[in-house]
Structure 1
Amino acid sequence: MKAIINGRIITENEVLENKVLLYNDKILEFREQQTPELLLKTCEEVIDVKGNYVSPGFIDMHIHGAGGHDVMDGTVESLAAISSTVAKNGVTGFLPTTMTMSKKKIYAALDNISCLMGKETQGAKILGAHVEGPFINKKYKGAQPEECIIEPNFSFIEKYINIIKIITLAPEMDENFNFIKEVKEKTNIILSIGHSNAEYEQAMEAIEKGVSHATHTFNAMTPLNHRKPGIIGAIFNSDIYCELIADKIHVHPAIFKILEEIKGMDKIILITDSVRAGCLHDGISELAGQKVIIKDNTVRLEDGTLAGSMLKLNQAIKNYMDCTGKGICEAVKLASLNPSNELGIEKQRGSLEVGKYSDIAILDEALNVQQTIVEGKTVFRI
């Protein structure tokens, strides 16, 4: 058994002070404050966090890479390196996200995700895969290679239905919504609208058929217009979950509060959409075989198209708080409990509660990560 003392513990609705958090691989108890000497009689380790926040670990549902590594490298070593890198940002669980590339490369990436899914690493836990493409629309392809885009096809993903948690697709490319219907009938995979040219009516019908999530909301989709409400109108008029890249670059900060007012805090999920360039410095990098330029905290193709982000999830939470005035309990939920709820793992992860896994991030006042604990094991410490 281990203990965390002198922390401000972030729970769902309040920040607890003068409490001891006792844990092993799962959270055991919240106890009144005791001296380290007394605790050491029963605990193998006592961690004094000296007034810092004790937060539930973060879950990134949409991340392609970080620290010079990419999911599409197709190696266990790259996945492990991404896991280790994002743990430095307080991430304790994530969905490695594939891109629109050849079937061979997508399958290689999924095979490696399958190898590490649920296994212990020196970083964040791999909870499954997010397949972004190749079932998208060329008009809103963003940085996804056009030559690899194909129509939705259940046989393409059939072998991997037990590891895929989310599929991003353009529903207008799905004839009679046959793919959506088959996925909903045969799997528990979350279907997400993204990289799509769907009109409002198409998007609403897709939602009725089973789409329940929006990929990087506002980006790579038809915008809101008073005569053509588009995908944004459908998102606003439904109860689907919304990803948000809160880097203040992909989406104007004023939009954060607008989205919150319309959707409510329970339906927003902060993601990074981080790519290989995440956590690196200015220079040249690569994405799906394309040259990208890292400059001023952005990642862009040579033509200026945004190509993912360099965002860290702890910084996304800080940005959200700064731009909306929300408190830390509410903002942290957008990157912990909300993704857990949608993934159906809220009984195991997503908040600091007795019986849940000890997935914990220790944060200073500016939300810089001091320590990250995954299932009771410290995987990062400054």
Structure 2
Amino acid sequence: MLIKNCKIIFHDRIEDGSILIENGKIKAINPITHDDNDIIDAEGSYVSPGFIDVHIHGAGGYDTMDGTYDALNHISKSISKHGTTSFLPTTMTCAIDDIRKSIEAIAKAKEIGTEGANVLGAHLEGPFINPEMIGAQNPKYVENPSIETFKSMVGEHIDAITSITLAPEVEGAKELISYLKENNITVSMGHTKATYNEAIEGVKCGVCHSTHLFNAMTGLHHREAGVVGAIFDSEITTETISDGIHISYPSLRIAYKQKGTDKVLLVTDAMMACSMPDGMYSLGGQDVVVKEGAARLANGALAGSVLTLDAAVRNVVKNSNYPLYEVVKMATLNPARLCKVENRKGSIKEGFDADLLIFDEDITIKKVIINGKVI
């Protein structure tokens, strides 16, 4: 397959060119010759690496906590329409048995593949969080951090765990963080009431990422810098739900300016109502009302989002002065690094997986290519 007449989005520039795909890989960029009859004329549109979502609970009426391969497959197909070609199905703070069931389904989806976006592994959001920063998590199922509980939860599928969100200040967290780091699992701090010093201690133990910046964490105050201050004052990465609801656009711009676009990932934190009409849904066993683009529990707490990554990219482009390639990097290369797949995904390079998007100036998706196939 040859994609011609396109503007290729690299991580540091945009160039006119063409891309040759063969056997699910990018065979050549600007090939001199080719004998491929399967030609896509992009007609001047952009070609981007596929988006990678490292924090997403569900979409299309299905939830990761459904605990089935079928649910994950439906999610993968729903989000692929919006440019997500790989993702980390994200669990909630629920009963250990339910989390275990979801991990088993994720491990299966990672192994055998899906009909849509690739499953790269699991993101466990909880249960080792601070109940005083519960957000939309279920306080009934919060667990004290421990290596033993983690092992019982993941069973034989530790290799399927890519990242975990926890509160570094809770007793037992430091020992678990060290264990997770030794097992090559990305540790993210979130749903945390840590002070600045406690957060920095977590970073020293192995925390290298932070979950949904500004949300469910101690804020930046001029006398106590909090978790937000620790994120800004360290080299760890962070993620933003760029829907204009979870974070105001001025705050987004401040965060991007402080961290730099190499250290920020765009995520959706989407729940099952993503790509669905307004109405009643659930998240982690709790009722959620979706109205006018916002998902909330009965108490008013935000309960994930209905955001898609193409909309997140569009929102940042419209509400900042960053060039398109820098915004796209936050949805491609940066999450690929977190998932430790930057040697084959997240960039347009020869030999990389052919997970590609064709979209126009308004970030309207025209074609999605996953593993070299138009879906």
TM-score (norm 2): 0.96
1:22 to 12, 20, 23: 20
1:289 aligned onto 2:285: yes
Q: Does 1:181 align with 2:174?
A: no
Q: How does 1:57-68 map to 2 (within 5 A)?
A: 57-68=50-61
Deviation per CA, 1:45-100: give whole Å up to 9, x if none: 11112221111000000000001000000111100000001100111100000000
Q: SS at the partner of 1:180?
A: helix
Alpha-carbon distance in structure 1 between the residues aligned to 2:80 and 2:114: 10
Residues 226-275 of structure 1 deviation map (CA, whole Å, 9 limit, x = unaligned)? 11111011111100000100001000100122111211110000000000
Query: 1:376 Cα shift?
Result: 0.3
After TM superposition, give the deviation of residue 176 of structure 1 in Å. 6.7
CA 119–373 in structure 1, closer or farther in 2 if over 3 Å, else same? farther
Cα deviation for residue 325 of structure 1 reads 1.3
Question: CA offset at residue 179 of structure 1?
Answer: 1.2
Further displaced range: 334-343 or 239-248: 334-343
Aligned match for 2:188, one of 187, 192, 195:
192
TM-score (norm 1): 0.94
Could you say what secondary structure the match of 1:370 adopts? strand
C-alpha deviation, 1:335, in angstroms? 0.4
Q: Which residue of 2 aligns with 1:301?
A: 297
Which runs of 5 or more residues in structure 1 are unaligned?
A: none
Verify the 8 A CA contact 1:118 1:127 in the aligned structure 2.
Answer: no
- Counterpart CA distance in 1 for 2:61 and 2:203 is 36
Q: What's the counterpart of residue 112 of structure 1?
A: 105
Change (3 A) 1:92 1:338: same
Query: Residue 7 of structure 2 corresponds to which residue in structure 1?
Result: 8
1:259 aligns with 2:259: no
| Cα distance in 2 between the residues matched to 1:267 and 1:95 | 18
Shift of the alpha carbon at 1:184? 2.0
Deviations 1:136-173 (A, max 9, x none): 01111111110000111222333232111111001111
What is the identity percentage for the equivalent residue pairs of Structure 1 and Structure 2?
Answer: 41
Task: Supply the distance in 2 between the matched residues of 1:322 and 1:288 (Cα, whole angstroms).
Answer: 33
Are 1:118 and 1:125, in contact at CA under 8 Å, matched by a contact in 2?
A: no
- 1:52 matches 2:51: no
The code of the aligned residue for 2:223 comes to R
Match of 1:121 in 2: 114
Aligned length: 370
Cα shift readout 1:286-307 (whole Å, capped 9, x = no counterpart): 1122111111100001111100
Q: What is the root-mean-square deviation in Å for CA atoms of aligned residues?
A: 1.3
Q: Which amino acid aligns with 1:85?
A: S
Q: Is the 8 A contact 1:243 1:269 kept in 2?
A: yes
What SS class does the counterpart of residue 255 from structure 1 fall into?
A: helix
Q: Distance in 1 between the 2:146 and 2:212 partners?
A: 23
Q: Does 1:169 align with 2:166?
A: yes
How far apart, CA to CA, are the structure 2 residues paired with 1:116 and 1:175? 31
1:152 alignment partner AA = P
Q: Output the amino acid matched with 1:155.
A: E
Amino acid at match of 1:148: Y
Distance 1:207 1:122 in 2: 37
Residues 308/223 of structure 1: CA separation in 2 closer, same or farther (3 Å cut): same
The residue identity in structure 2 corresponding to 1:358 is A
1:285 counterpart SS class: strand
Measure how far apart 1:12 and its partner are.
1.8
Task: Return the letter of the residue paired with 1:62.
Answer: H
